Amino acid sequence: MAGKTSKALTKEDLILSWTKAPFQANVIKEAQAIYEDFKAGKSDLEIEAYTIPLEFGTGGIRGIIGNGVGRMNNYTVGRAALGLCRHLQTLSKNPLIVIAYDSRRKSKEFAEVTAGIAASLKIRVKVFPAVAPTPLLSYAIRHFKAHGGVVITASHNPKEYNGFKAYLSDGGQLIPPDDGKIISAINNITDWNEITILKKTDPIYTKYVDLIEASLFETYKSKVLKSNIYNTKLDPKDRMANKIVYSPLHGTGGAYMKDLLKTAGYKNLFLVSEQEKPNGEFPTVKYPNPEEKEALQLCIETSKKRGANIFIATDPDADRLGIGIKKESGDFELLNGNQIGSIMCAYLSEKVAAAREKSKSKTEYHIFKTIVTSDLQESIAKANKIKIKNVLTGFKYIAEQMGKIDGDKTKKFLFGGEESYGYLPVEFVRDKDSLASALLLLEILSDKKDLLAYLDEIYLKYGLYLESLKSVTLKGEAGKQKILDSLEKLRTTNLLGQNLGTRKVISFMDYKNKKASGKATKAVFNGLPPADVIQLELEGNAKLTIRPSGTEPKVKLYSSFKSLEKPITREDLPDLREKLTKEIMQTQTNFIKLAGLDD
């Protein structure tokens, strides 16, 4: 019904599997109508829902809620859960799994389905009693020494979506080879009747499923406040000087963020009342995504009413974080994920570099970032003599690198980040964490007083870098094929020496086939699994990267450019930013046309 099995079963087989038990009469009736349309030669998104299975991407499975093998429902969730749980049974005779869920439609129900699947296999389960942030799920897996975990979430997708993200014992999402083994276990489930949907009142469910107590968050909070992101030497008055507005965007972060920040000394914290409570309909926003300006409108309005100097917003599962900083004009400047991450990266790097110089410590600090995240962070790391490694897109690869330095007392994790508003400044979580990240940003603000001035200071010290992300949405089978064709076109075109905008292509890197040409060498692929990514390096520290989204019907183009002119004073920055922005836009347009994605 997915992956290898989908090749064995025809589309007709896949539809017909929904026209009989274990499905209810209304689902069977819908599937029969779809089958008639399919036989008549029709093709639409509803037919694709029954003929194109959900696939594991960078974050497990994710899709629109509905019936069929290509939608999120009790049976597709149950099938994913059954495959994961069977894999956990190969790892331990007495496995334990932790389950969390967000505020979306059917999230609680899908969490209960997952717990019931585990219980039916006599696997011990710990489940959060209410909506909880994804980073707490990652923390809980490690805290309880569990063998795996699941969070039911579709992150920042629209309200029609939900998803199933799987984790293993390190608290990180699935990586090779475990992901392949779990996908195989899922593919081996060819009969929907294998999936046991238990009620919460079932004796097996009540025997194996326990609720997680509130004390778990207290242990997380204690670790955060004892970590190096919390500055115990800071004057409490500096924290009180900040007025902060926070929005969980109808998601899971509300009570948790409020508790953490107030305990840390940020008493002047105001929540956006219209978005404070969990609500899977996301009534005040089109997309509950802190990357979108539209989603932050109420943050801006509330901040102006409250006289706040900063606002923060998190997505529904509270792993991503966006911020707005008050300018002298009274308006708010929205920082992107690269800028937010670079502020944290620079502050932590400069902090440990100064401490190391003072103590002559031999500790080797490590930063991990994705290949599409700003190379400004590479400049920061190198200037402060800190190790940095690029990994593939997906925070699971950052977690993997963290695992490789576990247990080595001479090596310490410092920071991990990705451009899509995900950051991790603590080592005891293995996924992006908006809670710890928000606290760190406020600590930097309390110390530096002006985050915009500090960001400019970073540009002057390490180089002016700007970034851009352009997404092209292409739905359905035809869209998927067009994405594949565009990347294949780039692979078969000799781009070396060509001008894209004002800069020449000097390196070509194909992460799928691990081919490098120009100034790049195959060393760039060391330790990385194959991935459908193409990256171009241009003259003057500029990169273009193209990849299909692992969770949405999109192809994404990332740009990261360093200014060819070096700014000397803060006054130089506005003009240079404007020039660099125009250059990036022009280069993106040229590249999209070259890839055949402009029509």
Active site residues: 155
**If you ran DSSP here, which 8-state letter would residue 72 be given?**
B
Cα–Cα distance, 292 to 550 (Å, whole number): 19
Please list, in sequence order, all residues whose beta carbon lies within 8 angstroms of the beta carbon of residue 444, skipping any fewer than 6 positions away.
343, 344, 347, 451, 454
Q: How many residues does the chain have?
A: 599
Residue written as tokens 């778990």?
216
**How does 153-192 read in b/e, with b if 16+ C-beta sit within 10 Å?**
bbbbbebebbbbbbbbbbbbbbbeebbebbbebbbebeeb
Distance (Å) of CA 194 to CA 19, 78, 83, 206, 569? 16, 9, 11, 21, 67
Cα–Cα distance, 79 to 194 (Å, whole number): 8
Cα–Cα distance, 551 to 530 (Å, whole number): 18
Give yes or no for a contact between 376 and 467, defined as CB atoms under 8 angstroms apart: no
Give yes or no for a contact between 395 and 134, defined as CB atoms under 8 angstroms apart: no
Give yes or no for a contact between 500 and 591, defined as CB atoms under 8 angstroms apart: yes
Cα–Cα distance, 19 to 227 (Å, whole number): 55
319 burial type by CB count under 10 A (0-12 exposed, 13-18 middle, 19+ buried): buried
